[in-house]
Amino acid sequence: MSILVNKESKIIVQGITGSEGSFHAGQCLEYAGNVVGGVTPGKGGQTALDGRVPVFNTCAEARAKTGANVSLIFVPPAFAADAIMEAADAGIEVIVCITEGIPVADMVGVYAYLQTTSSRLIGPNCPGLLTPGEAKVGIMPGFIAKKGRIGVISKSGTLTYEAVHQLVKVGLGQSTCVGIGGDPIIGTKMVDLLEMFEADPETDAIVMIGEIGGSMEIEAAHYIKAHVRKPVIGFIAGQTAPPGRRMGHAGAIVSGADESAEAKMKIMRECGLHVVDSPAQIGVTVRTALGVQVA
C-alpha cells in the first residue's frame, strides 16, 4: 500500500511543453508509465514526449478527457499560484508543485482557496512524491528507492534522497516518500502525513526530516506523542546555523527560542522520537527501532 499516489494514479503535467516540464514528465512516464496528459494554454491538440502524451489547454479539459487525478506543476513562479488553483478548480485530488520562488503573498491566497476544495497540495518548492515501483510525481530519482514499508517525510529534497539511500543500504524499502517543501507556506504539513502513514497498514515506521525555522516539527512531535504508535525516526538539518540567518529554504531561519535544531531535537526526544544527529544514522536507527538486527 502507499499514500497519495500509486500505480492507479493518472498524472497530468502543467507546463509540459517547457524544458523542465518536458524533461521531468518524460522521467515520470519512463518510471511508471502513468503520465496521461499535459497542460499548456494555447497548445491544446498538440502532443508532447515524442507524441506519447496529449496536450490540453486547461486542467478541466485534461481531467475530462483522461480521468487525471494528480497534477504535477512546472510553471514559472509568476504563474504558479494560478496553476495550482486551476488544478484544484478542475477537481484534481493531489497537486504537486515543484516551482521555487512563488511569492509568499500569492501562496497566502492559494492556501485560503484550497481550504474551500477537496484538493491536496504538496509543495511548492519541493521534490514531489515517489511510491517506489508505482508512481513518480516530481523530480526524485526513482532508481535510488525500492519498494518497502518505511514512510519518508522531508522538508529537504537532497536529504530525502540521502534518507532513502541509508534505508536501502540496510535492506529497507519505502512505502511512499514525500518532499513537502521548505517555503514558509506549504500545502501539506508533517502532521497531515503522519496521520496518513499511521493509518497505512503497510507502513511500519516513519522517517521525518525537518530543519531549523518555524514550529512544524514541534507540532509534529506533540502529535506523534499523542497519536502515532509506529516508530518515528527524526532528524533536524541546520544544527550549526546561526540565529537570524536564512539557510537554504525560505522558511529555514531561526526567529524564536524553539526554532533552533537543538531545541527541536530536544522536544522530539521528549515526545518519544528516535532522533539521530546525522543522516548517516537513519537506516541503522530505523532497523533498531523495528527490532531488526543490523548486519
The one-letter amino acid at 27: Q
Interacting residues of 18 by C-beta distance below 8 A, sequence separation 6+: 40, 74, 75
Q: Does position 247 have pLDDT exceeding 70, yes or no?
A: no
Assign domain 145-289 to a CATH class: alpha beta
Q: Does position 186 have pLDDT exceeding 60, yes or no?
A: yes
What is residue 271's predicted lDDT score, i.e. its pLDDT?
98
Average pLDDT score over residue span 239-246: 58
**What gap in Å lies between CA 65 and CA 43, rounded to an integer?**
15
**What gap in Å lies between CA 170 and CA 233, rounded to an integer?**
15
Q: Which residues are catalytic?
A: 249
**What gap in Å lies between CA 197 and CA 172, rounded to an integer?**
16
**What gap in Å lies between CA 90 and CA 87, rounded to an integer?**
5
Kindly report the backbone phi and psi dihedral angles of residue 287, in degrees, each rounded to the nearest multiple of 5, phi listed first: -60, -45
Percent of the chain residues past pLDDT 70, beyond the cut: 92
Average pLDDT score over residue span 211-219: 90
Q: Under the phi-then-psi rule, with left for phi > 0, alpha for psi from -120 to 50, and beta for the rest, what region is 22?
A: alpha
**Which pLDDT band holds residue 238 (cuts at 50, 70, 90)?**
confident
Q: Does position 105 have pLDDT exceeding 70, yes or no?
A: yes
Q: Does position 158 have pLDDT exceeding 80, yes or no?
A: yes
What is residue 293's predicted lDDT score, i.e. its pLDDT?
55
What is residue 157's predicted lDDT score, i.e. its pLDDT?
85
Average pLDDT score over residue span 150-155: 97
* Crossing angle of helices 190-199 and 216-227, rounded to 10°: 30
pLDDT in tens, 276-285: 999 999 999 9
Tell me how far CA of residue 83 lies from CA of 49, 70, 71, 102, 175, in angstroms: 21, 13, 10, 11, 29
Structural domain boundaries of the chain?
11-122, 145-289
The one-letter amino acid at 5: V
Give the three cell numbers for residue 31.
518510471
**Which pLDDT band holds residue 260 (cuts at 50, 70, 90)?**
confident
**Which pLDDT band holds residue 261 (cuts at 50, 70, 90)?**
confident
Interacting residues of 150 by C-beta distance below 8 A, sequence separation 6+: 167, 172, 173, 174, 175, 203, 204, 205, 206, 207, 286
Tell me how far CA of residue 14 lies from CA of 10, 208, 288, in angstroms: 13, 29, 42
Q: Does position 188 have pLDDT exceeding 60, yes or no?
A: yes
pLDDT in tens, 30-88: 999 999 999 999 999 999 999 999 999 999 999 999 999 999 999 999 999 999 999 99
What is residue 295's predicted lDDT score, i.e. its pLDDT?
47
Average pLDDT, the chain: 93
Superfamily (CATH H level) for 11-122: NAD(P)-binding Rossmann-like Domain (3.40.50.720)
CA-closest candidate to residue 234, choices 213, 260, 208: 208
Residue in the structure block whose three cell numbers are 484534481? 92
Average pLDDT score over residue span 210-229: 94
Tell me how far CA of residue 185 lies from CA of 27, 67, 107, 180, 273, in angstroms: 28, 29, 6, 10, 25
Tell me how far CA of residue 274 lies from CA of 117, 121, 268, in angstroms: 36, 28, 8
Do 11-122 and 145-289 show the same overall fold?
yes
